[in-house]
């Protein structure tokens, strides 16, 4: 039976970058006989324009029944005045909840060929190889929220940050297992000097860690982590943290590590998992065919590895991406003199040629 991949291009450059990734998947499919099959669905502002909602039920249902989801990007100024509950980003939040995507894995690896794109000095960033494991369907993101008059008669808004022991156990277990396949080191990030949720998090993480004697765990406050990522990024192997801290730290890490256009992510669910580049929908360059497809292509490699256990094919894609960069191919976002400037389609073909 074919493996069903639901492709959700979304908005802006979403179409061109998922086209690139699908072309690469089709090429490895030929070589490694993966038997992949693709269905396309709408989400984000595009879906809102067509159906009045950012996440149509058909899209969610198809995603739930798929073997894996490849996601582009959503959002754009165009929908700035849409009601909060109907904004494009509700599509990705809805998919996370609807698919139970409890963990977001974001590798940040500084390739030597791209070290110049990091804002950090080369001596600091060289060798950076961090995997951020972010809890994705809990915390203040999905806690109760409201706005009403408080006892003083003034307006006040509330958001409930919260974590349960099983939620923390699940994500820390995944981080520990991830570290076992890497350098065996986990840094658990919280704000235990202030938050009750962080104290429960830290206590639970210690209990989980005790079950993995081959992994070393340390704890770090989130403010310190924001500093250490900038001055000492190579000290990290796996970072595990909650939804909100993970949102901030993974974006910081991505940009410090080098080009954000290259960074993939995997959102792991109990059944289906979802894969997307970490960059946004870049409406300013949408439709021009110049977007960098590599973040999405590397996300497709993660899809093969995590959802289809097709490690060989995943390795081939990752190696091909390294090769095209060493060969000097650059999309506009990374271009500087002396390199070969290519558009989305040409970059995609260059990757395929290197498979």
**Residue ranges that bind a copy of itself, judged by CB under 8 A:** 84, 87, 89, 93, 119-121, 124, 140-141, 143, 145-147, 150, 152, 154-166, 191, 193-197, 199-201, 222-224, 226-227, 230-231, 244-245, 247-252, 254-256, 260
Whether the CA torsion 190, 193, 194, 196 is positive or negative: it is positive
Q: Is 37 a catalytic residue?
A: no
Q: In the annotation, is 141 catalytic?
A: yes
240, 133, 131, 225: which is closest to 188 by C-alpha?
A: 240
Choose from ligand IPM, a copy of itself, none: what does 162 bind? Cβ within 5-8 Å by kind: a copy of itself
Q: Give me the catalytic one of 251, 322, 323, 341.
A: 251
Q: Is 88 annotated as a binding residue?
A: no
What token pair was written down for 52?
A: 């009045």
Does residue 206 belong to the site contacting ligand IPM (CB under 6 A)? no
Residue 193 lies near ligand IPM (rule: CB under 6 A): yes
The tally of CA atoms less than 13 A away on the side-chain side of residue 231 is 6
Apex 192 CA angle, 189 and 194, nearest 5: 130
Tokens, residue 333: 């976002």
Calpha distance 122→253 (Å, rounded): 15
**Is 333 in the active site?**
no
52: left (phi over 0), alpha (psi -120 to 50) or beta: left
Among residues 247, 323, 333, 341, which one is catalytic? 247
In the list 93, 124, 226, 230, the residue contacting ligand IPM (rule: CB under 6 A) is: 93
Complex with ligand IPM: residue 77 or 149, whichever CB lies closer? 77
Nearest distance in Å: CB 147, a copy of itself? 5
Q: Which of residues 233-262 bind ligand IPM (CB under 6 A)?
A: 247
Q: Which stretch binds ligand IPM (CB under 6 A): 37-45, 89-97, 162-170, 230-238?
A: 89-97
Ramachandran quadrant class, 132 (left: phi over 0; alpha: psi -120 to 50; beta: rest): beta
The values of phi and psi at residue 106, to 5°, are -130, 105
**CA separation for the pair 216, 116 (Å, rounded):** 32
Q: Is 223 a catalytic residue?
A: yes
223 near ligand IPM (CB under 6 A): yes
166 binds, among a copy of itself, ligand IPM, none (CB under 5 to 8 A by kind): a copy of itself
Instruction: CB nearer to a copy of itself: give 85 or 214.
Output: 85
Tell me which H or E stretch contains 303: helix 294-307
Half-sphere exposure of 7 (CA within 13 A, CB side): 21
Does residue 237 carry a catalytic annotation?
no
Contacts (Cβ under 8 Å, ≥6 apart) of 227: none
Strands 216-221 and 185-190: parallel
Residue 80 touching ligand IPM (CB under 6 A): no
Residue 194 as a binder of ligand IPM (CB under 6 A): the answer is yes
Choose the catalytic residue: 117, 141, 212, 275: 141
Residues of each annotated binding site = 96, 106, 134, 223, 247, 251, 280-292
Instruction: Give the interface with ligand IPM as residue ranges (CB under 6 A).
Output: 89, 92-93, 193-194, 223, 247
- Which active-site residues does the annotation give? 141, 191, 223, 247, 251
């Amino acid at each position: 039976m074919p493996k069903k991949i639901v492709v959700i291009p979304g908005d802006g450059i979403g179409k061109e970058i998922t086209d690139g990734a699908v072309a690469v998947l089709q090429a490895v499919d030929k070589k490694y006989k993966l038997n992949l099959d693709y269905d396309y669905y709408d989400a984000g502002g595009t879906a809102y324009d067509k159906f009045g909602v950012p996440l149509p039920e058909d899209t969610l249902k198809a995603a739930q029944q798929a073997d894996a989801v490849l996601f582009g990007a959503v959002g754009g100024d165009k929908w700035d005045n849409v009601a909060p509950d109907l904004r494009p980003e509700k599509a990705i939040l809805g998919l996370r909840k609807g698919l139970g995507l409890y963990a977001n894995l974001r590798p940040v690896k500084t390739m030597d060929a791209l070290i110049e794109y990091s804002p950090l000095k080369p001596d600091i960033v060289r060798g950076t190889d961090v995997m951020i494991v972010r809890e994705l369907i809990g915390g203040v993101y999905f806690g109760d929220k409201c706005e009403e008059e408080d006892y003083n008669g003034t307006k006040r808004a509330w958001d409930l940050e919260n974590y349960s022991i099983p939620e923390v156990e699940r994500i820390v277990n995944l981080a520990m297992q991830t570290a076992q396949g890497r350098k065996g080191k986990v840094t658990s990030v919280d704000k235990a000097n202030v938050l009750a949720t962080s104290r429960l998090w830290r206590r639970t993480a210690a209990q989980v860690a005790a079950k993995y004697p081959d992994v070393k765990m340390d704890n770090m406050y989130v403010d310190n982590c924001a500093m250490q990522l900038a001055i000492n990024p190579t000290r990290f192997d796996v970072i595990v943290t909650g939804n909100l801290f993970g949102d901030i730290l993974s974006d910081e890490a991505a940009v410090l590590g080098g080009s954000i256009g290259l960074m993939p992510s995997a959102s792991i669910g109990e059944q289906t998992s979802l894969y997307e580049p970490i960059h946004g929908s870049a409406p300013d360059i949408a439709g021009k065919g110049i977007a960098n497809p590599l973040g999405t292509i590397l996300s497709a490699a993660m899809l093969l590895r995590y959802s289809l256990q097709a490690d060989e094919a995943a390795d081939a894609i990752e190696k091909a991406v390294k090769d095209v960069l060493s060969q000097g191919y650059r999309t506009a976002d990374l271009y500087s003199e002396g390199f070969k400037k290519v558009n989305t389609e040409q970059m995609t073909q260059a990757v395929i040629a290197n498979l």
